Amino acid sequence: MFSINACQPTQSATSTIDANNFDSFWIWGDIKTASYLINAKELYILQGEIRYVKQKQSSILIPQGISVLKLPHQKIWLVFRTHHLNWTEQDYQNIFNRLAQWKNQGNNVIGIQIDFDSKTKNLRDYALFLQKLRHKLPQNYQLSITGLLDWTNFKDQTTLAIFRQNINELIIQTYQGTTTIPNYSQYLKRISTLKLPYKIGFVQGGRYQKDVKYTNDPNFKGYVIFLLRSKT
C-alpha cells in the first residue's frame, strides 16, 4: 500500500494529490492510458446508473463509463450509481450480468461498488437495502460502497451493525465534483467511531491535509483516487 507520507511537503499543512503516487483508482469515463494506470493494482470502474423513469414507470440501468475490457493484472470493482433503493429483480439481474461479462474476459473481478448519496438521517433504509443486495449477490463477490463525510456523525449502533454485517468496505469521499472539501479532515477525525473497514477517496489534483493520521487505525485500508479526464 502506498503511504501518502511520501508526498507530504515538510513546511505546508497540505499537499496536492499526485496520481503517480497511488495504485488504486476510480475510472468514471473513457480516459487515456497514463503511466499510473499501467502500475495500478485496483480499479473501480463505472458501469452505469439505476434510475426510475417516470415516463416508463419502471427502473432501468443506464449504461455509463467504459465498455468491457480485458484487464487481468488489476483487481476490478464494477461501480453502479443508484438514485433510488426500490430495485426490481431486473435491476439486480442487469448488474449480475455485467459482472459475468467482465469475469468472462478473464478479469479478476472482486465485486461491486454502490454509489448512493444517502442522507445521514436515512442510513437505516440504505443499510437494509444493502442487506438485501448482499443476500442476492453471489458469495464470491464483495460489496463496497461510497460514503459522504457527514456519515461520520452517525451513531445508531443497530444500523451500523447492519452495515458491518453486509459490506466489505466503505470509501469516504473527501471531494465534491473536482474540488476537495476544505474541512474534510475534521469529519475524518470521527471515522474510527463507525468501526467499518474504510478507505479515503481523494480527487486527482485535490488537496491532502496532514493533520489526520489513519495508519494506526486497524479499519483503515488505503486510498482511492478519482481520476479526471482533464488530467490524463
| CATH number, domain 4-231, options 2.60.40, 3.20.20, 3.40.50, 3.40.720 | 3.20.20
- Tell me the per-residue pLDDT of 191-220, one tens digit each, with 9 for 90 and over: 999 999 999 999 999 999 876 677 789 999
Question: Quick one: pLDDT at residue 202?
Answer: 97
Question: Helix, strand, or coil here: 148?
Answer: coil
- Helix residue spans in the chain (DSSP H): 35-38, 89-104, 123-136, 157-166, 184-188
> 172 near 198, Cβ under 8 Å?
yes
> 222 near 25, Cβ under 8 Å?
no
Record the cell numbers describing residue 103, joined without a space.
469475469
pTM exceeding the 0.85 threshold for the entire prediction? yes
- Tell me the per-residue pLDDT of 76-133, one tens digit each, with 9 for 90 and over: 999 999 999 999 999 999 999 999 999 999 999 999 999 999 999 999 999 999 999 9
